[in-house]
Structure 1
Amino acid sequence: MSRLDSRGLPLSTTSDLAAERYRHGVDLLLSAWPGAAEALEEAIAADPDFALAHAARARLHAIRSEPTKAQARIAAAGEIVARRGTERERSHVEILRLAINGHSAQALERALAHADTWPRDVLILSLPLGAFGLFAFSGMADHDRARVDLCERHARHFDADDWWFLTYRGWAHAENGNVSHGRALTQRGFDLRRNNANAAHALSHAMYEGGAHEDAERLIAEWLPGYDRSGTLQGHIAWHAALGALERSDPEHALAIYADYIQPSVTAGMPVNVVSDTASFLWRLKAYGHDVPAGLWDDAAAYSRGYFQKAGFAFADVHMALIAAATGEKAAVEERVKALTSLTEAGALAAGPVVPAICRAALAFAEENYAACARILEPVAAEVVRIGGSGAQREMMEDMLLLALMRSGEAAKARALLDRRLHRRPSLRDARWHGMLAA
């Protein structure tokens, strides 16, 4: 009898236990839920020649920024699948090998072709999707639209109650501006599987984009205590609640959330989340007129020194520059800008010149040279989307431009930007700023 994965695709394993543990492990992986590593190790123990279990374990290592372990695991999967695997499994392993070894453009191309043939191979279909997926980090200006198109192209292949597909389809629509539809899809996915950090995260995004900040805070407050501290998204989901508190001008509550869930010493988050969440929260705290307690920037800087030292990962680059600018490490920002500019000129930075521009603007803002910050950011504002991440994460760059315009006397430009934002997404903070400009 053929052994199948959770979406009905055949698996090359001789063990029923290995197949069951693999199905469970992949579902935990796709829901960012603790226990995935253990389940996949059990699958491998039951059948050491189970290539896809090794490949999924490699994917988990990559998510945790453990490249050496990820490369070793995917190499083992490649050796096994070459002698014992189907065409789909060989393609599956090769795509993960490309992604893990940094060949993102090739991995994206192969993943899209793979999905056309095997759309229900969800571990591969998941790679282009999400805020940190291959589309988001491709440097594309239209990656939000690309995710929607990919989901809609393959929607007919998924059941109406497929919790994973509902989550990612809903997130894609919400990020691309169809917020009410995206929220409804994501809500259904969340209701079907509440032990799913990706769904809680996606739903909080949809609420945020729709201006439903109280709904998002309530969701997170009710859901987060049931998510183990070892969960990789716990700190980032709490970050959304902290932003909600800042939106309500409640810095004390925001800082309490930061202390309990987000700061580097307490979170089990992925390094890219820890660096970006700490940097963007502390920047917002100060930019919105509140004091940053002593030591918090230094703690973020100390953590960041262990990661992303080499320029070229656009999303990380701008947050690393932000931390360096905030802690007075001007030379570090300038060195990163120099490296990014060289990569851009060589055509080796997919996101292009917007990346060094944001880094330069962050330094100008930190030095309170608001006119220079606005002068740098304004021409590239429409290109910020190329750095990837979510709309909520990138909003900080727009806030930087807005505040720079306000503080450098460009009231008309600031008012026009606020008008566009309020039309797109209701915001208490934007409404307050608009009132200040109108006074």
Structure 2
Amino acid sequence: MREAREAIAHAQALTNRSDDREQTHIAAFSALLQGDPRLAQTIVKDHVRDHPRDAMAAQLCTNVFGLIGFSGEVGREAELLAYTEALLPHYENDWWMMSMHALSLCETGQIAASQSLMEKSLALNPRNANGAHFRAHAQYEAGDIAAGRRYLGNWMETYDNRAVLHGHLSWHVALWALHDGDEEAMWRTVDNGVRPGTSESLPINVLTDTAAILYRAEIAGVQVPPERWRELSEYAAQYFPETGQSFADIHAALCHAMAGDGERLAYIAETANGFAGDLVRPVAKAWGEIARERWAAALEYLAEVMATTERLGGSRAQRDLIELAYVNVLMRLGLDQEARRTLKLRRPVLSDSTPVLGLH
């Protein structure tokens, strides 16, 4: 971050003061690097109205991990759709923008339209990792377990494991294997490309992906060795020692809870102050109650966040960690019918096939 701030300061010193396009482009990155994502988002949105094809600036607000995706606002999925929809006409036959808009369609439930646009993107660039990634999301939302696992597994065979998306795509492969009942393949994928030390992904992806697959495996009845949670708890403490990135914080809290580190868990529950810090606090407390098998208390804490989980960030597939934790708690309390009804109401695509111990 120090080097990045030095670079943007140098850019500001060199900028042409009479060139508004150049100034606002740099100002967006400056606001981001100075820790003001709301200002950065405002600058980007204003900038692309006049300069929609400045992709380097425009991309800051695309994707579920962008400034809109991590805004912590209710309705951010619809906002992301409106943003990419406005940009799409300026990027005619551009595989990158097609894939970005296709994800926006997917996250707002327009699965058929998403898949159609994604196919066009991949036809132009079959080795587009974003396209392959977002196609996996569309297949997940459509419930295409076998097709999704086959497609992404084949696509990954020639994907360089040093690439930044390799670890996250490996998470998708591991998740497909879990859904398909192939525990051996799931662990093999986790150990070869998801967990710390095996992935070149950004720390936020390593943490969130590993935590999610481990707990979703536990929900499915898979035995997860305690040392895996301890390893991940240490990783979370190393890379996210302070709160502020809400999506990372809920996963770090899960790791600390499952590893039995009450002090680190309490720190997150007490200090969470990110874009959805008010939701992180009850989620962290819920993880603590779940780890102690105090299901009724866990249910109370989770109930505080279920109405607005989109504020936590991430994709629908990633937020299914919270959805399935809630269903699992209901099952543990003996409320089987309510658990099934909840899943059908909130995530019908998961209601028939998702592995939750005792659900089917």
Shorter-chain TM-score category? over 0.9
Q: TM-score, normalised by structure 2?
A: 0.95
Aligned length: 360
Matched, 1:361 2:286: yes
Moved >4 Å (runs of 4+): 424-427, 430-434
Question: How far is 1:150 from its partner?
Answer: 1.0
Question: How far is 1:306 from its partner?
Answer: 1.7
Contact 1:422 1:431 in 2 (8 A): no
**Distance across 1 between alignment mates of 2:330 and 2:351:** 20
CA RMSD between the two structures? 1.8
Could you tell me which residue of structure 2 aligns to residue 235 of structure 1?
Answer: 167
Matched, 1:97 2:22: no
Contact 1:247 1:427 in 2 (8 A): no
| Alignment CA distance shift 1:316-1:89 (3 Å) | same
Could you tell me which residue of structure 2 aligns to residue 409 of structure 1?
Answer: 334
The residue type paired with residue 134 of structure 1 is L
List gaps (5 residues or longer) in structure 2. Answer: none
Question: How far is 1:248 from its partner?
Answer: 1.5
Question: How far is 1:358 from its partner?
Answer: 0.7
Which residue of 132, 151, 158 maps to 2:84?
Answer: 151
Which residue of 123, 127, 133 maps to 1:201?
Answer: 133
Matched, 1:73 2:7: yes
Matched, 1:191 2:116: no
231-240 or 220-229, which deviates more: 220-229
Aligned sequence identity (%):
30
**Distance across 1 between alignment mates of 2:347 and 2:323:** 13
Which residue of 203, 209, 231 maps to 1:277?
Answer: 209
Contact 2:103 2:134 in 1 (8 A): yes
- Report the 3-state secondary structure (helix = DSSP H, G, I; strand = E; otherwise coil) of the residue aligned with 1:164: helix
Kindly report which structure 2 residues correspond to 1:6-405, keeping only aligned pairs within 5 A, or say none: 67-82=1-16, 86-159=19-92, 161-293=93-225, 295-340=227-272, 343=273, 349-405=274-330
**Distance across 1 between alignment mates of 2:104 and 2:47:** 20
- Report the 3-state secondary structure (helix = DSSP H, G, I; strand = E; otherwise coil) of the residue aligned with 2:263: helix
Contact 2:122 2:132 in 1 (8 A): yes
List gaps (5 residues or longer) in structure 1. Answer: 1-66, 344-348
Question: How far is 1:434 from its partner?
Answer: 4.5
Larger radius of gyration between Structure 1 and Structure 2: 1
- Report the 3-state secondary structure (helix = DSSP H, G, I; strand = E; otherwise coil) of the residue aligned with 2:106: helix
- Report the 3-state secondary structure (helix = DSSP H, G, I; strand = E; otherwise coil) of the residue aligned with 1:75: helix
| Alignment CA distance shift 1:419-1:363 (3 Å) | same
Could you tell me which residue of structure 2 aligns to residue 40 of structure 1?
Answer: none
Question: How far is 1:97 from its partner?
Answer: 1.1
Question: How far is 1:156 from its partner?
Answer: 2.2
- Report the 3-state secondary structure (helix = DSSP H, G, I; strand = E; otherwise coil) of the residue aligned with 1:131: coil
The residue type paired with residue 209 of structure 1 is E
**Distance across 2 between alignment mates of 1:215 and 1:99:** 39
